[in-house]
Amino acid sequence: MAELSMAEFRSILGRIDGRGYKAYKDIQRHSLRVGNICIHFDHVQGDPFASPSVFRISVPQSFPKEFWNSRHRRVAIEDMVERKAHGLCVKRSSHRGIGSSGYIGFPRPGQEILERSVLRLFPDRTELRVFVGLPAAGRRILSSEAWKIVVEDLPFIARNSLYRKNYTEDEVRERLQLADGQEFIRSNLDRLGLVAFVANGSILPRRSGVDQRPMSADRAVAFKSPPEFEIEIELPTGRSIRGMGIKKGITLIAGGGYHGKSTLLEAVQLGIYNHVAGDGREFVITNPTAVKIRAEDGRRVASVDISPFIYDLPSGIDVKRFFTEDASGSTSMAANMIEAIEAGSTFLLIDEDTAATNFMIRDARMQRLVKKEPIVPLIDRARELYEKFGVSMMVVIGGAGDYLDVADSVIMMEDFVPYDVTDEAKVIVEKMPTGRRDEPPFPMEPVRERVPLPSGFDPSKGKKEEYVKVRSMGALQFGGEIVDLSAVETIVSIGQVNGIGNAMLKLLRDRWIDGRRKIREILEGMEEELMGKTLDVLFRGYVSPTIEEFRMLELAAAINRLRTLKIRF
């Protein structure tokens, strides 16, 4: 990449002023230095209505190494800088012609603290990647406006966000202490025998289904642990934090409608991610392998051994290699559960509101009435899953009291306040037997791991050998196929979906999907590469600000929902 002098850059803009938009390509793969700020023109759009250009802005590294000498610290500092840079981009972005002319920016960070391809701390520099809409009037180049963006706006954003001096000592210290505390609790959950921790004072409800900011303090009920579940954790800073420790095993969340059961489950579900200060869920910390299991009518299932839950289907359907283009509620839940365990999950979350009833429970009356039932309900596998395979569960239950028989802990939500009713539940179980019988016809065996075949992955579309496009947070286009991710509730951003699509391409390019490696082995290889490097490895060519950190469990969910997937055991 050749570095232009200021005079050379001015000369190019003067030469192409008023010409057709494609003439902007003359600056592509060049860079410009403005003082000690370097601007790299990695990709220049060919039309003002096309996706904006991608520029990198780099400055000499000014953050001391101890601020980012571990991954969780680096991500925390990068997140801090990204948020300031985003606000400055919004201020300097303005309409300067047709299409995206004058736009400067990148996707707005959400409530989660995630690694993003927007910004990277390197030992020698801090680098911001932004979209820039190069200005045009009627598809004719506006050089004077382009000059202002490149020479004035972008350096302004860099000077006021990318240097250590833009952040107070208190601001940086609080960021790092929060990150250290979150990492400390998460890394110690297993040692403490927990699958989740919810700090006292947490604000769990959100403003709305489309606004993940915390509900206002005058409306929300701050979380307070029942005394029986309350534990104290001393953080590395010396600060102690108290809250509810959710133990390994089977935990039921009971209570009436609209009393906060699902709100608690959703907070625990997203406790797999760290959250920003002020979110209310900063210290809701969950086992990083947690997966929400739900019914998913209509999903495709590719050769999954669902026999632990469904062992005898009509027409001789092979449940050990179960395949369908249109799963029912119960078969989709069985497949979702087996796939999650195969991908490495040891903590499953279930809400009866989004579950298939016949997969969850069959009471004594239905057992007596229906003699030919191929489903082994989850209630009859729950203890076995935990005691034999170490898979814990948190289940929201409002109507199926039979689950009290298998629970280790029972939490009652009443007016958004949790109470320990485990002992009361045990008394009820003793005094009111359900009369149902356990239904497993055979012990559960370890999950059969599958091998995806490369012939099941075709990323091409038309003349393009690789085509990945994010349709929405719940839809990824991979080649000619749309992967439906709408039921994967742990996906929180479009950037994660984009990352998953790029990861699938990389797995094919690097021949990780070779017809020999099992899914778990493939996921572990990808995770090791991402943890050892950064999200930048997912790009081919220039790096754009489009990808956010995702878990291997969500990558597995996308692979399993690819409608062309082919499997062998």
DSSP 517-537: S-HHHHHHHHHHHHHHS-GGG
What does the buried/exposed string (b/e) look like for 404-413 if buried means 16 or more CB atoms within 10 Å of the residue's CB? bbbbbbbbbb
Q: How confident is the model at residue 66 (pLDDT cuts 50, 70, 90)?
A: confident
CA–CA distances in Å: residue 12 to residues 44, 54, 137, 145, 146:
14, 19, 18, 14, 11
Average pLDDT, the chain: 96
| Structure-token match 């409306």, residue found | 219
What is the DSSP pairing of strand 301-304 with strand 290-293? Answer: unpaired
Helices and strands counted in the chain (H then E): 14, 30
DSSP three-state, residue 440: coil
Give the tens place of pLDDT for each residue, 274-305.
Answer: 999 999 999 999 999 999 999 999 999 999 99
Given this model, what pLDDT does residue 330 score?
A: 96
Q: pLDDT confidence of 218, banded at 50, 70, 90?
A: confident
- Residues of the chain with pLDDT > 90: what percent? 91
- Portion of the chain with pLDDT greater than 70, in percent: 100
Q: Which two tokens stand for residue 490?
A: 């742990």
Secondary structure of 246-291 in the HEC alphabet?
EECCEEEEEECCCCCHHHHHHHHHHHHCEECCCCCCCCEEECCCEE
pLDDT of residue 200: 98
Which residue blocks in 432-563 are alpha helix, DSSP H?
A: 494-509, 519-532, 552-561
Of the chain, the end-to-end C-alpha distance in Å amounts to: 48
Q: How many Å apart are CA 517 and CA 513, to the nearest integer?
A: 7
260: left (phi over 0), alpha (psi -120 to 50) or beta: left
The whole-angstrom separation of Cα 555 and Cα 506 is 12
Question: Is beta strand 274-275 parallel, antiparallel or unpaired with respect to 112-113?
Answer: antiparallel
pLDDT of the residue at 492: 97
CA distance 527 to 535: 10
**pLDDT computed for residue 517 by the predictor:** 97
Alpha carbons 114 and 71: distance in angstroms, whole number: 11
CA-CA-CA-CA torsion sign (531, 264, 230, 203): positive
Q: What is the Cα–Cα distance from 428 to 431, expressed in whole angstroms?
A: 5
Residue 341 has a pLDDT of: 98
Give the per-residue pLDDT at 68. 74
Residue 442: predicted pLDDT:
87
Q: What is the Cα–Cα distance from 427 to 416, expressed in whole angstroms? A: 24
401-410 pLDDT, tens digit per residue, is 999 999 999 9
pLDDT of residue 312: 81
Place of tokens 């760290």: 274
- Residue 86 corresponds to which tokens in the numbers above? 């985003």
Residue 314 has pLDDT above 80, yes or no: no
**Is the pLDDT at 440 greater than 80, yes or no?**
no
The band of 248, judged by pLDDT with boundaries at 50, 70 and 90, is very high
Lowest-pLDDT range of 37-51, 213-227, 302-316, 404-418: 302-316
| The pair of three-digit structure tokens given for residue 255, joined into one six-digit string | 């209570």
Each residue's pLDDT tens digit, 463-503: 999 999 999 999 999 999 999 999 999 999 999 999 999 99
The DSSP-derived string for 293-345 is: E---TT--EEEE--TTTB---GGG--GGGEEESS--HHHHHHHHHHHHHHTT-
pLDDT per position as a tens digit, 258-275 = 899 999 999 999 999 999
Average pLDDT (138-152) is 96
Interval 356-376 mean pLDDT = 91
Q: Residue 69 above 90 pLDDT?
A: no
Phi, psi of 549, rounded to the nearest 5 degrees: -55, 140
- pLDDT digits over 451-467, tens only? 999 999 999 999 999 99
User: Which class for 82: exposed (0-12), middle (13-18), buried (19 or more C-beta within 10 A)?
Assistant: buried
Contact 271, 245 (CB under 8 A): no
Average pLDDT over every residue of 436-458:
92
Strand order in the sheet with 284-286: 230-234, 240-247, 194-199, 284-286
Domain residue ranges of the chain, discontinuous segments joined by +: 2-167, 172-248+256-286, 290-431, 451-568
The rounded distance, in Å, linking the Cα atoms of 141 and 153 is: 18
- Are the C-beta atoms of residues 523 and 305 closer than 8 Å to each other? no
Output the pLDDT for position 65.
86
Q: Is the pLDDT of residue 1 over 90?
A: no
For residue 373, the model assigns a pLDDT of 85
Give the global pTM.
0.96
Residue 372's pLDDT is 85
Please state the rounded mean pLDDT for residues 509-532: 95
Whole-number pLDDT of residue 371: 83
**What integer pLDDT is reported at residue 460 of this predicted model?**
96
User: What's the rounded mean pLDDT across residues 120-140?
Assistant: 96
